[in-house]
Amino acid sequence: MNFLCRRGAAADAARRQLGLVPDTEVVVIGNGPAGLAVSAFLSGIHPYYDSLRGHPDDEVHRRLTRLEQSSLIDQDLSWYEQKMMEQADRAMGYLYDTLARPSIDAGIHRPSSLRWAANPCRAVPHVVLGATEPGGSWSTHDPEMVAVSVGGLLDLPGYPMAAWMEDPKSARERQPASVVAAYMREYPQRVGISGRVRSGTTVTRLEKTPSGLWRVSGVYSSGRPFTLLTRRVVLATGLMQQRMLEVEGETGNDCIVYTMQQLKQKMGEITTFQDPTVPSSSSASSAAPTATKPVIVVGDGISAADTVLFCMERGLRVVHVMRKNEHELRRLAQRLRSRFSVSLYPEYYNVFELMQGRQSHPLYERRVSAHVQKIEEGLVVLRTRTGMKEEPFSLLAACIGQRTTFEGVLPEEGGEPSSSRSSHSFGRDYRSEEDGSLFCVGSAVGDHYVRFLVGGAMHVAQQIVAEHENGRNLVVDGQEEGDTVIEEGDTVIAGQEPFLDADDGLLEISC
Ligand SMILES: Cc1cc2nc3c(=O)[nH]c(=O)nc-3n(C[C@H](O)[C@H](O)[C@H](O)COP(=O)(O)OP(=O)(O)OC[C@H]3O[C@@H](n4cnc5c(N)ncnc54)[C@H](O)[C@@H]3O)c2cc1C
């Protein structure tokens, strides 16, 4: 028997070497919120509709109550796409969000409509690889930055942040990035998936073997190489690479910063130039313009708003450069106003007013319809509607976003690595249209907020679980209740963390 096993193992190793046998069914690349959410669902942590808690939308309540015994992972939820009409592309993100946090956008905090169960027997073997600590970009944010989202909007499957913080109020409050990062770092261990998450691993190449498997190659942080064979790959690689202005004078210019951490580091040097009559920690309203050259902030998003605030609170003059014209800024402000209420985000509200020119402040000037053309010694050249304009600056903060890092890794038609992710297009099922065994989730595919990306991760898991279980069909509303696919006799995996009880939609063990 032992001999047979050994022969079997040797044959397996040989077949593996030939690229015929996968090491695991799925490799998830990226251990940020999206990768962790996919892993939780693939590990058998499944959400169920709880009809007792209900949902304010009658149709949602009616349909999901009929299939209450089936987890959302096992249901065909495509009916929600029709309901969402123009937002159908990301319908699963919206559906999950409204179930996890019914009525939150109306300012009403109802309990979640979901209950959670662990079905470890239905886990799909997988590995999560990630260059950072679990939590992805959250482990790299400025720890003092306060999250835009309140705690409840950053919940990962089955284990809300409020449960981790042991404080229900925290769901309604914005937390510092350091707290969010700690929650995400501990999440794998708390829900029992830490054995699947390999942090400090960077994927450098993805290629298809002749037998149709994926060969995932990379390096550990020690520099040691590794290779894994798998049937399916989920890209959850986020947007970890800084966008550049890509203008003359940018490369190697140490007066340009791209992140809040870099800005803070540089700020020491800047404040030494400051007029000593201006208190550096004075509030924006009482501050007067400094005699020094201003900080130029480029961009019109939240990071730009954060940077403007940060500088003004320190009494530094800001020249805010935005590509958008007045009309586009008004539309942007409308969108932002609907998302950022004055009560929860008073600081952003004021910056958005400044950006539109509806308020003024001695420390703030704006340049709209303006593009950075080139950067010279202490001077930036802007292309504006009225011609070229030179702006002197002490420091330039380019808050222009990030992009995916998957350059040079994905294969192209001819087998050569592509120069960007664009050689694959991912449809509303998050699956590559070019290769059905490749998926992409999270901010890498446009789901930037945690509240929405978890639903996308659930949709990917739905497809993978169904295929792994021999291509069974998802349960469609209208079928007999007997179609439920919850397995009897499932047992909790050894060494699994104890799950929390079902209150507030926390995870329970159902099998
Ligand atoms: C300043 C700032 C503030 C934000 N505030 C909020 C907020 O308040 N609320 C909110 O919901 N969202 C916020 N976001 C958006 C944020 O992107 C999402 O919350 C979330 O982190 C996206 O998750 P993700 O898993 O898709 O990607 P990420 O969190 O970016 O994680 C991607 C992971 O992929 C890994 N990776 C990439 N390439 C490779 C490779 N080749 N090999 C191995 N691993 C790789 C990275 O190391 C990382 O672990 C903010 C973003 C920024 C920049």
Distance of CA 511 to the CA centre of its chain: 31
Residue 122 has what pLDDT? 95
Contact call for residues 134 and 123 (beta carbons, < 8 A)? no
Distance, CA of 72 to CA of 75 (rounded, Å): 5
- Sequence-distant (6+) residues with CB within 8 A of 144 are 176, 177, 178
pLDDT confidence of residue 403: 80
Amino acid 413: pLDDT: 53
Q: Return the pLDDT at 289.
A: 44
Extents of the domains making up the chain: 26-241+403-509, 244-400
Q: What is the pLDDT of residue 499?
A: 30
- In the chain the first and final C-alpha atoms are separated, in Å, by 33
Site of tokens 């509200």: 349
| Alpha carbons 124 and 466: distance in angstroms, whole number | 10
Q: Could you give the percent of the chain with pLDDT greater than 90?
A: 63
Task: Give the pLDDT confidence score for residue 478 in this predicted structure.
Answer: 60
User: What's the rounded Cα separation, in Å, for the pair 234 and 40?
Assistant: 13
CA of residue 218 to ligand 1 center, whole Å:
20
Whole-number Å distance between alpha carbons of 181 and 132? 11
Task: Calculate how far, in angstroms, residue 294's C-alpha sits from the geometric centre of ligand 1.
Answer: 31
Q: Is the fold of 26-241+403-509 the same as that of 244-400?
A: yes
Residue nearest to atom 17 of ligand 1 (CA): 448
Q: What is this structure's pTM?
A: 0.84
Residue of the CA atom closest to atom 12 of ligand 1: 449
Along the chain (511 residues), what's the average pLDDT of each consecutive run of 10 residues? 55 69 96 98 97 95 95 94 81 95 85 95 97 94 89 96 94 93 97 96 93 95 96 92 92 93 80 38 40 89 92 94 93 79 80 91 96 94 95 95 71 51 79 94 93 97 94 68 33 30 37 29
Atom of ligand 1 nearest to the CA of 37: 25
Please report the atom of ligand 1 found closest to the CA of residue 402.
53
* Amino acid 118: pLDDT: 95
Nearest-atom number in ligand 1 for the CA of 153 is 11
List the residue whose alpha carbon is closest to atom 22 of ligand 1. Answer: 443
Question: Which of 41, 137, 207, 403 to probe ligand 1 with, by most ligand atoms within 8 A of CB?
Answer: 137
CATH number (3.50.50.60, 3.30.365.10, 3.90.79.10, 3.40.50.720) of 26-241+403-509 reads 3.50.50.60
Instruction: Look up residue 226 and give its two tokens.
Output: 């590794």
Instruction: Give the C-alpha separation, 362 to 53, whole Å.
Output: 52
CATH number of this structure's domain 244-400: 3.50.50.60
Using DSSP's 3-state secondary structure scheme, residue 110 falls into coil
Q: What is the pLDDT of residues 373-403, one digit of tens each?
A: 999 988 999 999 999 999 999 999 999 988 8
CB burial of residue 251 (10 Å; 0-12, 13-18, 19+): exposed
Q: What is the pLDDT of residue 203?
A: 94
Cα-to-centroid distance, 80 and ligand 1 (Å): 27
